[in-house]
Chains A and B, each alone.
Chain A
């Protein structure tokens, strides 16, 4: 039996306000450099806070990027690959995972706001191509790839860490020769107005863990890591800088913006990441804290760290960089991981700028004033995001840790599912009935949810919560700490974001509605669903254009294969949005001949042994699911048809995206094709409804297996479901 690969780090890239270049920026951070300046990117008139941590001299253009996010991602990704000595065709077997929350928002927000006010305003559709949060990943793939697989994840401010955790999972699974994983976010009017409306911004550059702290400061940047199997790195002569030895993530399932009191989940995640590395807490010499500078975050994080490590001088060194580079949102988890890893590499820990007097109830070993030399064998980086998404990463010097291998490769079962579409809201099998109903209005999910617990949810979140709750009910699964959630959403809520921005423009920043801001974070439908159903396993979102639904199922499979959860609710939903319909989708993802619809589906996917233990029956086996870039020349081994043609179906959202020559190459020639778009409407969650149709056909005994297919010029998606 082969041993699971250990995860070597062979390259790191970093861009932030204090400087470009991983080692150079780390040196400046150790000197205590603070990178805050008055904002130059947009007017701060009417704001009580007028500075941020901008990355200076970022010249956009065809070489660097169409948006600041793309440019930041390209700089950091390029540095990491160069250090690892990987390039071009050498990346065919490599994968890319990018965390992002803002995408090209800064570049498109004035246009969206103008279009929100006047739908007939003229614009260049090409300007929208950098808008989606998936754009930076596509840009890096285009400029530095080709990569064999590309993923965009969003878990708000924990995203960068989640991307590293997913990248490591692929290396551990033996699925990737290397993974370039990291996070990026650029400053934008939307996030600045949003955090301002929440009263979260400190009037001074932020002061993590200080007694007088008043909030966070915003920043921008990117960081990437090259992760690869240790043996492969050695055999190709790469310099191994250290190991990503442990990772853990969980959802607090508590509140969309407030951290859980006492940081119970934070403590659980920190301890789990250390245990995953096969280490004891005393082996951790440095903790790069999330440390935002908000009164609540720092108090709960300090309480959790004191519980895991014990307070006082014997514990690890602790610092936060947010008083130097600001809170860089989805980049933060990757940037701070890069800083923690540099500390390990250089055996010195950076200080916490802005911290002069720690709060008395936090007797921890904070590094203040100046960097300190320290003998470090292992370090830990914390990241927490909106919706209570918590993630911790442990890095160790080569050979020092003893990472627990992932459990044996599982058989994956779908044990429950639910759909929302023009035919209504439904659990399990039912079928869409007569065709020609695509134009029917999709029901309002409010009536199916507790009105008090769902009053803040917008339509995408209502879809997500209703679907997740129904799928869990259908699966008979009690929510708990071992159930995660992966939500697919292609574009977030551009109409709501534009309305928010337009209001700020017209009425001033004081009238930015605080309760609406959390819903503008792309991961919010999933976060609301996880909170509503009390799912406390790892929770994040994925975005992959028209193939978003299959990417959500694929990411759920990654999480299950890595043993991060026993069950995952994989869902995808899209709510009708005038701006998506008229502006964003035509520029970014044409999914079918129209009309665009709305709705989605949720699936409970479980490791079979966990499902058996609780006596659940499978609706179908999820034999394989994958989304990858390119025109579909590759054929995954798992997609072989095993039944007679008449007992199988090919299911597509749009028949034109299931060309017969391709199906023949996949070995599925002569199998009847079912096109669901005419019944479900065409939208980016439509493939989730195609998967539901496959489950319906299998559940009713009409067929033994179904291949869900989607092929566009940019991406290919496949999922194979088989009768149990």
Chain B
């Protein structure tokens, strides 16, 4: 069983970034989001931040502060969990 919000974040990525033909099980929660790994870019990061705020009511910082959060699915899920007071 994965940590809280990991499955939800995977589904959010697939839906909000239109990752065609991918299912949550295809996404490794430890794989880097950018460059090698999922191959996302800065425009995706903005879209993810908006979608997380909309879906979880959690504001995502931008700039340097955001970098560690956007490492991978697990880091995003942990951030959402911590902001919602439900740490794993």
A250 → B minimal CB distance (Å): 22
Interface status of A511 (Cβ within 8 A of chain B)? yes
Q: Which residues of B contact A513 (CB under 8 A)?
A: 16, 47, 50
Q: Which residues of B contact A700 (CB under 8 A)?
A: none
CA gap between A198 and B18 in the complex, in Å: 18
Q: Which residues of A contact B23 (CB under 8 A)?
A: none
Q: Which residues of B contact A452 (CB under 8 A)?
A: 39
Interface status of B53 (Cβ within 8 A of chain A)? yes
Q: Which residues of B contact A510 (CB under 8 A)?
A: 50, 53
CA gap between A197 and B51 in the complex, in Å: 12
Which listed residue (A256, A455, A515) contacts B46, Cβ 8 A? Answer: A515
Count how many chain A residues have C-beta atoms less than 8 Å from C-beta atoms of the other chain: 20
CA gap between A510 and B57 in the complex, in Å: 12
Q: Is the CB of A507 within 8 A of B54?
A: yes
Interface status of B42 (Cβ within 8 A of chain A)? yes
Q: Is the CB of B43 within 8 A of A199?
A: no
Q: Is the CB of B50 within 8 A of A514?
A: yes
Interface status of A451 (Cβ within 8 A of chain B)? yes
Q: Is the CB of B17 within 8 A of A451?
A: no
Q: Is the CB of A197 within 8 A of B46?
A: yes
B44 → A minimal CB distance (Å): 7
Q: Which residues of A contact B21 (CB under 8 A)?
A: 451
Restricting to B34-71, which residues have a CB under 8 Å from any CB of A? 39, 41-44, 46-47, 50, 53-54, 62
Which listed residue (B39, B44, B50, B62) contacts A511, Cβ 8 A? Answer: B50
CA gap between A511 and B53 in the complex, in Å: 8
Q: Which residues of A contact B25 (CB under 8 A)?
A: none
Interface status of A92 (Cβ within 8 A of chain B)? no
Interface status of A211 (Cβ within 8 A of chain B)? no
Q: Is the CB of A197 within 8 A of B20?
A: no
Interface status of A234 (Cβ within 8 A of chain B)? no
Q: Which residues of B contact A515 (CB under 8 A)?
A: 16-17, 43-44, 46-47
* Residue of B whose beta carbon sits closest to that of A516: B47
CA gap between A510 and B47 in the complex, in Å: 11
Interface status of B3 (Cβ within 8 A of chain A)? no
CA gap between A26 and B48 in the complex, in Å: 43
Interface status of B19 (Cβ within 8 A of chain A)? yes
Q: Is the CB of B46 within 8 A of A456?
A: no
A524 → B minimal CB distance (Å): 13
Interface status of A24 (Cβ within 8 A of chain B)? no
Q: Is the CB of A455 within 8 A of B19?
A: yes
B73 → A minimal CB distance (Å): 17
CA gap between A199 and B20 in the complex, in Å: 26
B62 → A minimal CB distance (Å): 6
* Residue of B whose beta carbon sits closest to that of A256: B43
CA gap between A645 and B56 in the complex, in Å: 70
CA gap between A512 and B18 in the complex, in Å: 17
Q: Which residues of B contact A143 (CB under 8 A)?
A: none
CA gap between A475 and B39 in the complex, in Å: 31
Restricting to B1-33, which residues have a CB under 8 Å from any CB of A? 16-21
Interface status of A446 (Cβ within 8 A of chain B)? yes
Interface centre among B16, B19, B43, B47 (most CB of A within 10 A): B43
Q: Which residues of B contact A635 (CB under 8 A)?
A: none
Given A255-B41, A510-B53, are A199 and B17 also a contact pair (CB < 8 Å)? no
Q: Is the CB of A456 within 8 A of B18?
A: yes
CA gap between A456 and B16 in the complex, in Å: 10
For chain B, give the interface size range. Answer: 10 to 19
Q: Which residues of A contact B62 (CB under 8 A)?
A: 199
* Residue of A whose beta carbon sits closest to that of B20: A451
Q: Which residues of A contact B18 (CB under 8 A)?
A: 455-456
Q: Is the CB of A514 within 8 A of B47?
A: yes
CA gap between A386 and B20 in the complex, in Å: 24
* Residue of B whose beta carbon sits closest to that of A453: B39
* Residue of A whose beta carbon sits closest to that of B62: A199
Q: Which residues of A contact B44 (CB under 8 A)?
A: 515
Which listed residue (B20, B43, B54) contacts A514, Cβ 8 A? Answer: B43
Q: Which residues of A contact B43 (CB under 8 A)?
A: 198, 256-258, 456, 514-515, 518
Q: Is the CB of B53 within 8 A of A455?
A: no
Q: Which residues of B contact A514 (CB under 8 A)?
A: 43, 46-47, 50
CA gap between A452 and B18 in the complex, in Å: 9
Given A199-B62, A451-B21, A515-B17, are A258 and B50 also a contact pair (CB < 8 Å)? no
Q: Which residues of A contact B20 (CB under 8 A)?
A: 446, 451, 455
* Residue of A whose beta carbon sits closest to that of B46: A514
Q: Which residues of A contact B19 (CB under 8 A)?
A: 455
The 0/1 profile, CB within 8 Å of B marked 1, for residues 402-443 of chain A is 000000000000000000000000000000000000000000
* Residue of A whose beta carbon sits closest to that of B63: A199
* Residue of B whose beta carbon sits closest to that of A451: B20
CA gap between A712 and B42 in the complex, in Å: 46
* Residue of B whose beta carbon sits closest to that of A446: B20
B69 → A minimal CB distance (Å): 15
CA gap between A198 and B46 in the complex, in Å: 7
Q: Is the CB of A199 within 8 A of B46?
A: yes
Q: Which residues of A contact B53 (CB under 8 A)?
A: 510-511
Q: Which residues of B contact A512 (CB under 8 A)?
A: 50
Q: Which residues of B contact A507 (CB under 8 A)?
A: 54
Restricting to A496-516, which residues have a CB under 8 Å from any CB of B? 507, 510-515
CA gap between A280 and B25 in the complex, in Å: 58
CA gap between A255 and B39 in the complex, in Å: 13
CA gap between A256 and B41 in the complex, in Å: 11
Q: Which residues of A contact B17 (CB under 8 A)?
A: 455, 515
* Residue of B whose beta carbon sits closest to that of A457: B18
CA gap between A255 and B47 in the complex, in Å: 16
Ranked 7 nearest A-B pairs via Cβ = A514-B46, A515-B47, A451-B20, A455-B18, A514-B47, A511-B54, A515-B43
Known: A446-B20, A510-B50, A515-B46. 17 other contacts (CB 8 A): A197-B46, A198-B43, A198-B46, A256-B43, A451-B20, A455-B17, A455-B18, A455-B19, A455-B20, A456-B43, A510-B53, A511-B53, A513-B16, A513-B47, A515-B17, A515-B43, A515-B44
26 interchain pairs, CB-CB under 8 A: A197-B46, A197-B50, A199-B46, A257-B43, A258-B41, A258-B42, A258-B43, A446-B20, A451-B20, A452-B39, A455-B17, A455-B18, A455-B19, A455-B20, A456-B18, A456-B43, A507-B54, A510-B50, A510-B53, A511-B54, A514-B47, A515-B16, A515-B17, A515-B44, A515-B47, A518-B43
Interface residues of A (CB under 8 A from B): 197-199, 255-258, 446, 451-452, 455-456, 507, 510-515, 518
